[in-house]
Structure 1
Amino acid sequence: MKASAFVYPWDVVGDPEAPARIAALGVEQVTLAAAYHSTRALTPRHPRHRVVTAEYAAVLYPADDARWRGRELRPHAAGDWAPGDAFGTAAGALADAGLEVHTWVVLAHNSRLGAEHPHTSVVNAYGDRYPWAPCIAQPATRAYLTDLAAEAAVRPGARGTELESLGWYGFPHLHAHDKTGGVGLGDAGQYLMALCFCPDCRQGYGRHGLDAGDLAAAVRAALEPVWRGAPSDGGWPGVEKLLGEETAAATRAWRDDTARTLQEAAVRAVREAAPDGFQVLLHADPVSYHCGANAGVDPAHVLSVADGVVVPCAGGPGLLEPFAGQGRADAVVAANFTVVSGMGGSPGTLAADARRARERGATELRLYHAGLASDGDLEAVRAALAAL
């Protein structure tokens, strides 16, 4: 199974030993961040630093000013954590070590966008904005995300891309000093808290026969027992129970269509900008109403649009089956495993986990994250890949 390790440019730039160390893991490919959200990251082996604080969502290469000139929504250059063409510098060093480089592009997850342009954010039924979550129904936001996908994905030397957060982002979001775990919303409650009521979404609900004001009131009423401690039933039947089957179906129809058409537009834009043979994958969850970095998708649809998917497998390989079951022999179904013990990963069981994933239809592996992992974690990865 082909394996790729996720890497940040700051893991490589300024550390001449990093490319060979990553290649020695036994991976053939790296998935290198080209556009990324704000983060605080360890660099446990870097000769010049141990902690990198990326203060805001940024592109890690020089953006094309001609593309973005005069536009309200445009990407920001990174600060001193990834100055200049940090992506290009890292990509060149990794390629020199014999590694195939693919871009890692984070799209609809951008707190700076929400802070500077509040109208672009998802607005829940209570009127609260989610500044980390751009509403993907808004035309200007869709145009921004589509152009960003094309520019950030197709960097010099890259052989493919992986598009993260290409869909709805919802309520869950790691935030500074987060204090949101006091009430267990469950799967159904998370969906209701993800429903957006910005002007574009309100119009969208109307096109599906719903009055947005009545829908917002229904969401608030449905959630009231949950705030008081009542359990939130899991899965889509729980949403139907809270909202009613017809209303729930209408909200999902609006959101599913919005996400599908954005995915189509973004992949098409990448293909138009890319050379022949350029691979396009989406980080994806096979349940279309789910939100987050692994965007909820319809498996049949997404595999008709992209070359494949990267699927989270930290909780087991079950999410692979809906994609593998489509019978697309040419599709990439990459199983994504966390290999950082301190982040809940289990690099020591990687070989066994990979074999189970292959039995469920995985064709490739993704390893999160070569820059964050300890020396012991990396040694376990090397042993696992050698065993495979």
Structure 2
Amino acid sequence: MRTSAFLYPWDVVGDPEAPARVADLGVQQVTLAAAYHSTRALTPRHPRHRIVTAEHAAVLYEPDAARWQGRDLRPYAAGSWARGDAYGEAADALASAGLDVHTWVVLAHNSRMGADHPHTSVVNAYGDRYPWAPCIARPATRAYLVDLAAEAAVRPGARGTELESLGWYGLAHLHAHDKIAGVPLGEAGQYLMSLCFCADCRQGYAGQGLDPDELAPAVRRALEPVWRGEEPAGGWAAVEKLLGADQAAATRAWREETARTLQEAAIAAVRAAAPDGFQVLLHADPVTYHCGANAGVDPEHILSVADGVVVPCTGGADALTAFAPYRTARTTLAANLTVVSGMGGNPVGLGADAERAAALGADELRLYHAGLASDVDLAYVKKAFSGEVRADAVHASQSTA
């Protein structure tokens, strides 16, 4: 299967050996970050540094000043971690090593924007703002995300893009010194704590026949058992039990419509800016009410709009089966497998995991993340793609599945 490895520009810029090292893994493609959220990243082989701290969400190229002139919401330039057109420099080096380069674009996940423009953030039923989570119902935010998608995705020489966080972001978030795991929320608690009550979402609930002044207290009442430590069992059925089936359905209808129309608009904007044959994929979760980097989608709908999806498959590839019935001749189903053992990945069993994903419908692989992985992890990746996966590696994969 065609395989792509994720990379950051700082994995490549300043390390002349990086492109050949990645190509030597046996992959055909790199998915290279062009717009990314704040992070602290290890660079275990770089000759100049070992830790990169990206202090805020930023574009990793020089944005088009004319596109953003006079707009309150605009992309932030990167600091020392990716100065100038770091993306372009890295992309050129990787292409020179014979690798296809696709962009990796993170959209509705931006703590800096939430800090500078608090009105853009999701507001929960208690009035707490989530600065990392832009509310995708707000017209100005939607316009910003659509234009960012088009600009960041269609970089010179790129043959395609992968759009991440193109949907609702909620409570769950890898945040600095996180202290929110003391009460198990379950899927239902996560959903209720991710409902937004900004002015636009309140109007949206009203359009679904709900009174937003009554809905927020209802959500708070529904969460009372959760705060007592009574983790609700089950997925959507638990939401219906806590909030009531009719209210739950109305909130879900508003959020699904909002995410769906944003996805349609962003993908259309990318296509309008891109050359013929440019591939547009979405990082996706087949459960429509899920939040986060892998946006909740309706599989049939999204495969009628995008060229395919990238599906998280570390620990199990069953989510692929929700998309497989709706594939077409142009559809790509890419299984995203973590190959960093220190981040819960299974590089030892990569070959067996790839075979399992293929059996469930995957026709491409994504490897997260060639820049973060240790030399030992990368050695297992190379073995998997050279047909040298050992019997004990396959056994280890099967025993952890």
Q: For this structure pair, what is the TM-score category when the shorter chain's length is used for normalisation? A: over 0.9
Which moves more between the two structures, 32-41 or 319-328?
A: 319-328
- Percent of aligned pairs sharing the same letter: 77
Structure 2: distance between partners of 1:87 and 1:339:
23
Counterpart of 1:185 in structure 2: which amino acid? Answer: L
Q: Deviation at 1:252?
A: 0.5
Matches of 2:222 and 2:354, distance apart in 1 = 41
CA distance in 2 between counterparts of 1:257 and 1:82 reads 36
**2:386 counterpart of 1:381:** no
Which whole-Å CA distance do the structure 2 matches of 1:210 and 1:105 have between them? Answer: 35
Cα deviations by residue, 1:211-260 (Å, 9 ceiling, x for unpaired): 11111111100101110111212211111111111111100000000000
Alpha-carbon distance in 2 for matches of 1:36, 1:89? 16
- Give yes or no for contact 1:60–1:86 (8 Å, CA) kept in 2: yes
Q: Which residue matches 1:253?
A: 253
- Structural mapping, 1:134-283, within 5 Å: 134-283=134-283
Alpha-carbon separation, structure 2, partners of 1:303 and 1:343: 30
Conservation of the 8 A alpha-carbon contact between 2:165 and 2:293: yes
Q: Which residue is equivalent to 1:324?
A: 324
Query: Contact 1:184/1:232 (CA < 8 Å) preserved in 2?
Result: no
Deviation at 1:330, TM superposition (A): 2.2
Runs of 4+ off more than 3 Å: none
SS where residue 371 of structure 1 aligns?
coil
1:122·1:135 contact (CA, 8 Å) conserved in 2?
Answer: yes
Displacement of 1:325 after TM fit? Answer: 1.8
Distance 1:52 1:234 in 2: 39
- What is the SS of the residue equivalent to 1:300? helix
Q: Aligned equivalents of 1:122 and 1:266: distance in 2?
A: 20
Q: Normalized against structure 1, the TM-score is what?
A: 0.99
Structure 1 CA distance for aligned equivalents of residues 86 and 227 of structure 2: 45
RMSD: 0.7
Distance 1:75 1:143 in 2: 12
- Give the structure 2 partner of residue 88 of structure 1: 88
Local SS of the residue matching 1:115: helix
Tell me whether 1:131 sits opposite 2:131 in the alignment: yes
Contact kept, 8 Å, 1:121 with 1:134, in 2: the verdict is yes
Aligned length: 388
Whole-angstrom CA distance in 2 between matches of 1:37 and 1:327: 31
SS in 1 for 2:348: helix
Q: Classify the secondary structure of the residue corresponding to 1:317.
A: coil
2: CA distance between counterparts of 1:107 and 1:61?
Answer: 15
CA contact (8 A) 1:32 1:103 kept: yes
The answer as to whether partners of 2:303 and 2:327 remain within 8 angstroms in 1 is: no
The one-letter amino acid paired with 2:370 is: A
Distance (Å, rounded) in 1 between the aligned partners of 2:364 and 2:231: 38
- The equivalent residue for 2:301 is 301
Query: What is the one-letter code of the residue matched to 2:5?
Result: A
Q: Please report how far the alpha carbon of residue 301 of structure 1 lies from its aligned counterpart in structure 2 after TM superposition.
A: 0.5
User: Shift of residue 102 of structure 1?
Assistant: 0.1
Opposite residue 219 of structure 2, the aligned amino acid is V
In structure 2, stretches of 5+ residues that fail to align are: 390-401
Distance 1:350 1:363 in 2: 15
In the TM superposition, what is the alpha-carbon distance from 1:329 to its structure 2 partner? 3.3
Structure 1: state its 5+ residue gaps: none
CA distance in 1, matches of 2:318, 2:211: 37
Instruction: Return the alpha-carbon distance in structure 2 between the equivalents of residues 92 and 241 of structure 1.
Output: 54
Deviations 1:112-155 (A, max 9, x none): 00000000000000000000000000000000000000000000
- Paired with 1:372 and 1:3, the residues of 2 have a C-alpha distance of 17
**For residue 60 of structure 2, what is the aligned residue in structure 1?**
60
SS in 1 for 2:319: helix
Normalised TM-score (structure 2): 0.96
SS at match of 2:15: coil
Q: Which amino acid aligns with 2:61?
A: Y
- Counterpart CA distance in 1 for 2:382 and 2:215 is 52
Specify whether residues 327 and 269 from structure 1 end up closer, same or farther in structure 2 by C-alpha distance, changes over 3 A only.
closer
